[in-house]
Structure 1
């Protein structure tokens, strides 16, 4: 179980669309909005986890047009988000909107998040805990995953809130925007490569 928990930390250590957008909501709209968004991400992640555990990811991976459609949707959404980040100018503003993305926005991101499928497939199919007790293992892994996953996402919201409070130079703010955008695109590229 320790190896499994360590794998979760390492897989979540690389910024993906979920944590980057959580930081963005925290930076743009504050802690309360960020936590509502993370609640949506958590529900969406649970749905993806259930789908992967039930074998849906195998169906998606074996259906080329469906896999390509989901990858295209996620790539377009994340490309849009990355461009908003990169071209935010001198402001540290990951997401610009009049109203904060809420629970539903977080929930809807996870089913098109390629990193979610890649990570959850690796965690469910790897690191065997119990032989001949698949659903018990899935349930225990789900609990361990969320004991790590939820605090990490909350920390990213708080990171975004803290960034907003800093008085950074224009150059530093632009560098943050560009590095966050490039990180998101790198994650999407790696996930696409893994799923192809």
Structure 2
């Protein structure tokens, strides 16, 4: 079980679309909007977990055409998001919008986030620690994942809010945007590669 918890921590804390966009929403819109966005990500990630555990993901991805279509849609959206982050200018902000993405935005991001599927597939199909009781193991895994997921995402939200408050020079803010965009694309590429 400790190995599972360690895997959860390291797989979730690595920069991906969820945590990077959380920092961006915090930087652009503050704590209240960031908290609503994290709530959406929370619902979305648990829906992804349910899709993986129930076999729905495997059934959908069994059709090569549908898998290719979903892959192209996910990577296109996340590449667009990374582009917007990289070229947000000299202000740390992920999306220049009049309003924050909210709960719905968080749910949608997780639904198309290939890292979410790759991580949850690895966690829920591997790391068996209670082979005699599959239902209890899955329930315990949900508890462990969420107990680690929540503070990590709030730490990234705090990081985004803190970066904005630092009032860094324009070059530093631009460099942070580019580094976050590159990190997002690297993690997305790795997640997509692991799925293939």
**Secondary structure in structure 1 of the residue aligned to 2:71:** helix
Q: CA RMSD in A?
A: 1.0
Q: How many residues align?
A: 196
Q: Within 5 Å, give how 1:1-196 maps onto structure 2.
A: 1-196=1-196
Task: Assess if the C-alpha contact under 8 Å between 1:82 and 1:181 holds in 2.
Answer: yes
TM-score (norm 1): 0.96
Partner Cα distance (1:142, 1:96) in 2: 34
What is the CA-CA distance between 1:79 and the residue it aligns to?
1.0
TM-score (norm 2): 0.96
Partner Cα distance (1:87, 1:176) in 2: 11
What is the CA-CA distance between 1:96 and the residue it aligns to?
1.1
Partner Cα distance (1:7, 1:48) in 2: 18
Task: Assess if the C-alpha contact under 8 Å between 1:44 and 1:107 holds in 2.
Answer: yes
Task: Assess if the C-alpha contact under 8 Å between 1:85 and 1:93 holds in 2.
Answer: yes
Q: Which ranges of 4 or more aligned residues in structure 1 deviate by more than 2 Å? A: none
Q: What are the superposed Cα offsets for residues 62-120 of structure 1, whole Å, 9 maximum, x if unpaired?
A: 22112112211211111111111111121111221001110011011111110011000
Gaps of 5+ in 1: none
Partner Cα distance (1:133, 1:48) in 2: 22
Gaps of 5+ in 2: none
Task: Assess if the C-alpha contact under 8 Å between 1:61 and 1:195 holds in 2.
Answer: no
What is the CA-CA distance between 1:132 and the residue it aligns to?
3.2
Partner Cα distance (2:73, 2:157) in 1: 25
